[in-house]
Chains A and B, each alone.
Chain A
Amino acid sequence: MRTIKFIVKRLVYSVFVLVGLSILIFVIARVMPGHPARMALGARAPEWAVERLREEMHLNEPLYVQYYYWAKGALHGDFGMSLVTRRSVANDIKEFLPASLELALYAGIFMGIIGITLGTISGWYSNTWIDNLVRVISYIGIVTPSFVFAIFFVLIFSYALEIFPTMGRIAPDLIPPPRITGMITLDALITGNFAIFLDALKHLFLPAISLAMGPLAQEARITRSSINDNLKKDYIAAERSCGIPERTIMFKYLLKPSLIPTISIYGLDFASLLGNAFLIELIFNWPGLSRYGMNAMLRKDLNAMTAIILVFGLVFVIVNIIVDIIVEYLDPRIRLGVERGQ
């Protein structure tokens, strides 16, 4: 019951934040130099056409009127027309979002699982060669931009070793599965098409891992330091003195408290995933929302731009809520601290 109240409160708050965000983006987009209508129609279009487009887009009216029209549409799921693709932005989003989500999903999984595992091993075997190796790798992971990883991995795994493909979501000669969720791996699993599932995974692997490397290293680092700190705590010594076996201590009594800082950071790390996605989508020719968004921004496609930033904001908000719920579940101090009126 408390959790539901909590979620509702967060959602309401997030709505306010998103509204504020939309206003901010709106202002930035409309106020900045550039002639969207002119750019959309091209340099050769006649003046009257440009003028008519301007009218349609309400560009000649004051800002708050423009916002009103946009908001009205947005509430109905209509984000206007994209100036670039000439289709409704909502449709464009529906088409491109799943690809980005799929990428983010796998990257998120890599980041979480590999990062935490490495960090745990590193923390438990502190100051041995394994620990030092992991620390060096994490350092490299943190300082390297994701595009460098992408290039590096492509060089090694695609060109040199030829294990993974470099572009696209599935091999060009394969037919994608029917579009249920839009995520090829999930759709393939649902329709039972294992071959396509594997192929899609192969295409996903390099982009997801390149994207995940930075945040993965961050998670490993935090996990390591958290485990290190907790190993010295008295309660671990007390549990040992009661004769509880090492394995139980490691996997149960040490892991749970140590994961709390790690998971708290997960939200932020996920944000950098989403942010860096456009670089990866560019390099791997991934038909995702970030790339679409970049195009929109470069061509001053206002509607598309506003909508996309909102979508990303929304995804980020949802992830944060989930993370907060998990942390609350893990840590009774947070859960119960509020109840005691702290």
Chain B
Amino acid sequence: MQKGYSRQGELPKRWENIRRNWYKFSRNSLSIIGLVVVCIIVFVAIFAPYISPHPESAGKFINFYEASQYPSLVHLCGTDVFGRDVLTRIFFGYRFSLMMGIVVLSLVVPVGVVLGLIAGYYRDSWLDIVIMRITDIFVAVPPLILALAVCSVLTPGIFYAMMAVSLMWWPWYTRMVYGVASSLKGEFFVQAAEVTGASRTHILFREILPNCIAPIFTKMSLDMGWVILIGASLSFVGLGAQPPTADLGSMVADGSKYLPDQWWIAVFPAFAIMLIVLAFNLLGDGIRDMLGAEGE
């Protein structure tokens, strides 16, 4: 694979490329913090069953002896009304958050990007018009409302929540790639490829796409944070993971009933949401600095 193949046709050494990118990324210490925190969270999420202090708390579990305890050394974030350890549930909750981000982006990015490439390349043809008008329709509604609509007519659950968010997310990638692709269409290197008889697939994926990679990548890193945020909002109203599964948004919703006395039940999950979104934001900013592109 010719990684690092730039438009002018140079072939810099792969290692030098990585080192240079790392230098650009690491100049802002906030980006490093973001990267570190994201790594920690990913680690925690993957190994949650093994490293959480009270793994039984993650599912159906009732222990009224320990219910509603203040944060203490045993339960760092306290326990909820059922006696479940809040910290453990946060760890498990991160699993869902990350899963939502990964699943949604894995669906949305290929579909959105491909549509954008096609619409941009076949600019001013019926393909372009159809694709972009459909995109416009999806964009016309405030995003969360569409997700809500889809989500609520289906059985509440994390799977449908992911579908709903995906449905409202793909247009943004299409639009972005459309902008890049249609402006590149008139460039010489594309024309050169056409003239030498390259197939459409080749042109789209080997010529135009590499130029979109930087903004796509930046947007993806920033989007992880946003998707998680939206997922939390949906869970808050009960449309995400169902009880007794641990999910950050629903934990905040449950916990808000017990404010202000047992504040820790809602506050720690809330901070947990903020932390993961912040981390991905910082990471995304760092990637934007590194790739030098406009992601959002």
Q: Which residues of A contact B (CB under 8 A)?
A: 14, 16-18, 20-21, 24-25, 28-29, 32-34, 139-140, 142-148, 151-152, 154-155, 159-160, 271-276, 278-279, 282-283, 290, 293-294, 297-298, 300, 305, 309, 312-313, 316-317
Q: Which residues of A contact B253 (CB under 8 A)?
A: 147
Check: B216 CB closer than 8 A to any chain A CB. no
B277: chain A residues within 8 A (beta carbon): 143-145
> Contact: A276 with B153, CB < 8 Å?
no
B229 interface neighbour in A143, A159, A282, A312, Cβ under 8 Å: A143
Whether a CB of chain A sits under 8 angstroms from the CB of B133 is: yes
Convert B146-161 into 0s and 1s, putting 1 for each residue whose CB lies closer than 8 angstroms to a CB of A: 1011111111000000
Contacts between the two chains (Cβ within 8 Å), count: 126
Range, interface on chain B: 35 or more
CB-based contact A309/B146 at 8 Å: yes
Residue B142 CB within 8 A of the other chain: yes
A-B contact pairs, 30 of them (CB 8 A): A16-B133, A17-B133, A18-B140, A20-B134, A25-B149, A28-B153, A139-B281, A143-B277, A145-B232, A145-B249, A145-B270, A146-B233, A147-B233, A147-B236, A147-B252, A151-B252, A155-B259, A272-B144, A274-B142, A275-B143, A278-B145, A279-B236, A282-B237, A283-B256, A293-B145, A297-B151, A300-B153, A305-B153, A313-B141, A316-B141
**Cβ contacts under 8 Å, B263 to chain A:** 155
> A228 to B151, alpha carbons, bound, how many Å?
41
Main secondary structure of the interface of A (DSSP, over half): helix
B141's partner among A29, A298, A309 (CB-CB below 8 A) is: A309
- CA distance in complex: A273, B143 (Å): 10
In the assembled complex, the Cα of A90 lies from the Cα of B142 at a distance in Å of: 21
* Contact (Cβ within 8 A) A294 B152: yes
* Given A140-B274, A143-B277, A278-B237, also A159-B259 (CB < 8 A): yes
User: Within the assembled complex, what's the spacing in Å between the Cα atoms of A271 and B144?
Assistant: 9
Across the interface, which residues of B come within 8 angstroms of A145, CB to CB?
229, 232-233, 236, 249, 270, 273-274, 277
CB pair B148–A297 under 8 Å, yes or no, is: yes
Looking at the assembled complex, report how far the CB atom of B233 sits from the nearest CB atom of chain A, in whole angstroms: 6
Interface-centre pick from A32, A143, A309 (highest chain B CB count, 10 A): A143
Contacts of B144 on A, CB cut-off 8 Å? 272, 275-276, 278
Of all chain A residues, the one with the shortest Cβ separation from B152 is A297
A148–B270 contact, CB under 8 A? yes
Does B274 contact A148, Cβ atoms closer than 8 Å? Answer: yes
List which B249-295 residues lie within 8 A (CB) of chain A.
249, 252-253, 256, 259-260, 263, 266, 270, 273-274, 277-278, 281
Asked if A32 and B154 make an inter-chain contact with CB atoms under 8 angstroms apart, the answer reads yes
| Residue B78 is within 8 A (CB to CB) of chain A in the complex | no
- If the complex has contacts A32-B153, A279-B237, A283-B256, are A21 and B278 also in contact, measured as CB distance less than 8 A? no
- Cα–Cα distance between A33 and B277 once the two chains are bound (Å): 33
User: Is B73's CB within 8 Å of the partner chain A?
Assistant: no
Kindly state the separation between the CA atoms of A24 and B146 in the bound complex, as whole angstroms. 10
Is the Cβ of A298 less than 8 Å from the Cβ of B142? no
In the bound complex, what is the Cα–Cα distance between A148 and B273 (angstroms)? Answer: 9
Contact in complex: B137, A21 (CB < 8 Å): yes
Taking a contact as CB atoms under 8 Å apart, the answer to whether A143 and B278 are in contact is yes
Judged by a CB distance under 8 angstroms, whether B56 is at the interface is no
The answer to whether the Cβ of B225 comes within 8 Å of any Cβ in the partner chain is: yes
Task: Report the Cα distance A142→B266, complex, angstroms.
Answer: 19
Residues of B within 8 A of A290 (CB): 145
* Structural contact, A271 and B142, CB atoms closer than 8 A: yes
Which B residue's beta carbon lies closest to that of A314? B140
